[in-house]
Amino acid sequence: MANPQPKWDRCLIIGHGEDVPDNPPKVDGSTLIIAADGGLIRARQWGLVPHWLLGDFDSLDPGSSCELPADRIIAYPAEKDQTDLELAVDFALGLGVREIVMTGVWGGRIDHSLGNIEILCKLAGKHVKAQMITSSADLYLVDRSLRLELPIGTTVSLLPLTSKVTGVTTSGLYYALQNAVIKKGSTKTISNYTVSSCMELRCETGVLLAIVLKKDPR
């Protein structure tokens, strides 16, 4: 009898973008790791072996991925309707993943970077927990609520991913919000900062992007 496929709840997707943290994101035995095309290069630098490699391989020779069996490599045509990252996200969703952490998805081509924000919107519509990690910031999808333990004085900015976000309430931030409405086209919620080691965000409708800077810009 064949071994059953493991059930993955959390997934790390590694892309080929230039803006990445110095150290790899935390993973454990229950984390599914997917390399999107040239993301395999970054995975190797971090000493990580992906469970799957996929993409159109315009930035990587799949033949160089000798540590992966052939049935764990999925090649797509260069002429396709989705980026390699979106293909990786859809693949992870197909395996039942409910949390996706992405790195190597910022920097380089600005069109790809901004397009990856649209992928966050897609995940919000599916109520999937999501995070992007760069060298200077962590970007969190806020669909209803988010709670983080952060050093006091950490800069936090909020951006609406939907046209309007209602019922926004915060705790642990200097500029507190209580049942606020945040609309696209405003910078009102840029550059707040934590006054408590615990920050909480809640919203009733719509989706926020919480941008947490790793260094004090002031």
The whole-number pLDDT of residue 69 equals 84
Separation of alpha carbons 99 and 12, rounded Å: 9
Q: Does residue 1 fall inside a structural domain?
A: no
Q: Are strands 99-103 and 129-133 parallel, antiparallel or unpaired?
A: parallel
The whole-number pLDDT of residue 7 equals 78
66 with 129, same domain: the answer is yes
Separation of alpha carbons 140 and 190, rounded Å: 15
The whole-number pLDDT of residue 88 equals 96
**Domain final position from 106, 135, 164:** 135
Q: Does residue 17 fall inside a structural domain?
A: yes
**Domain final position from 104, 135, 166:** 135
From the first residue on, what is the mean pLDDT of each consecutive set of 10 residues in the chain (218 residues)? 64 94 91 94 93 88 70 88 94 95 91 91 93 96 95 97 96 97 94 97 96 83
- How many domains in the chain? 2
**Residue 119: φ, ψ to 5°:** -65, -35
Strands (E) located in the chain? 10-14, 31-36, 52-55, 73-75, 99-103, 129-133, 137-142, 145-149, 155-160, 164-171, 180-183, 192-193, 198-202, 208-213
Q: Does residue 71 fall inside a structural domain?
A: yes
Range of the domain at 162: 142-213
The whole-number pLDDT of residue 217 equals 67
Conformation bin of residue 16: beta by default, left when phi > 0, alpha when psi is -120 to 50: alpha
The whole-number pLDDT of residue 5 equals 58
Q: Does residue 58 fall inside a structural domain?
A: yes
